[in-house]
Amino acid sequence: MQEKRLVLASGSPRRKELLAGLGLSFEVITADVEETIAPGTTPVDAVQDLAYKKALAVANTLSGGLVLGSDTVVALEDRILGKPADAAEAKQMLAMLSGRAHTVYTGIALIEAETNRSVRDVKATQVVMRELSAAEIDAYVATGEPMDKAGSYAIQGLASTFVTDMHGDYFAVVGLPLQLTAHHLAAFGLDVLRQGRG
């Protein structure tokens, strides 16, 4: 039986669905954090810092429990691609990713509210996209799917038809690296295999 309170500091329906798949009981409290990345910040630092800020913003409102924050960015060479501001930017990002390999970085942070004990980590996954025509990009952006996604695409959605190869963690690309998350949850006393279906 799960005893420790677990809170997901994210309003992402994808992260909620992935965490629910582990069978743990948890609640969602959305973190009100400005998701800005300072120039020169590496993708690894960016996602870990934002994940920590989200978790900390929620942990500071609680008297106890374990808070999980997460953040995802797409990086093409040294350029970080976050969520597009509008359709034009989404099209620009997809044109950049077309026919190339890029790396998706997803950071996680766990904070134990009563002790402030914390851990942060990151998973990097390489994704390769086929060549996309301008018409395909226009049609995809018109669906609205890219608009709240890092790099302007959802690998679990229509963009699955664009991906030709992947090296790493599929779940991290969707938004939450489950193996990494379960590993760190266990260190805080939440063993998924023992408590996930309790």
| Residue 71 falls in the annotated catalytic set | yes
CA distance 164 to 67: 35
Question: Tokens representing 70?
Answer: 């997460």
Residue with tokens 């890219």: 146
Sequence letter at residue 95: A
Separation between Cα atoms, residue 186 and residue 114, nearest integer Å: 17
Angstrom CA distances, 40 to 21, 37, 78, 79, stand at 36, 9, 9, 10
Tell me the one-letter amino acid at 3: E
Rounded distance, CA 149 to CA 77, Å? 19
Catalytic residue of the set 32, 71, 78, 148? 71
The residues carrying an active-site annotation are 71
